[in-house]
């Protein structure tokens, strides 16, 4: 379903170091992924496509609006990822202490449904 694809996009965006958009129509899941990556402070990069292709409209718009940096080679992707990682290291919250985290809304962990449980 559409909702599951959107949830998947959010998870994938959170697990990646960055997102490279190669093609994406104006109302595509690809652009959803790019929005999640941006919201999660991951670099978004785009490979420009032909202006005559409907599949390139979304990625070209991301680049034009400054929501994605334009890349055309693998080296440019590596450079963007390296630059972003260096900048992010300088923004780490020094007060962060690893440890247990409270369950949402005070629920005990056993009362939270497992992710693999079928929905009804």
pLDDT tens track for 42-96: 999 999 999 999 999 999 999 999 999 999 999 999 999 998 877 766 665 565 5
Residue 113 predicted with pLDDT over 60: no
Residue (of 32, 7, 10) closest to 21 by Cα position: 32
Report residue 115's pLDDT band, with 50, 70 and 90 as the boundaries: low
Residue (of 117, 103, 45) closest to 76 by Cα position: 45
Residue 19 predicted with pLDDT over 70: yes
Residue with the bigger pLDDT between 111 and 102: it is 102
CATH number 3.40.50.450 is the correct assignment for the domain at 2-85: yes
Percentage of residues of the chain with pLDDT beyond 70 = 72
Secondary structure (3-state) at 19: strand
């Amino acid at each position: 379903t559409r909702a599951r694809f959107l949830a998947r996009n959010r998870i994938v965006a959170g697990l990646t170091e960055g997102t490279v958009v190669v093609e994406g129509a104006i109302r595509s899941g690809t652009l959803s992924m790019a929005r999640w990556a941006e919201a999660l402070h991951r670099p978004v990069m785009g490979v420009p496509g032909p202006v005559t292709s409907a599949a390139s409209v979304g990625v070209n718009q991301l680049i034009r609006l400054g929501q994605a940096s334009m890349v055309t080679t693998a080296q440019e992707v590596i450079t963007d990822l390296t630059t972003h990682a260096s900048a992010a290291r300088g923004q780490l919250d020094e007060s962060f202490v690893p440890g247990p985290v409270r369950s949402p809304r005070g629920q005990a962990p056993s009362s939270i449904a497992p992710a693999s449980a079928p929905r009804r």
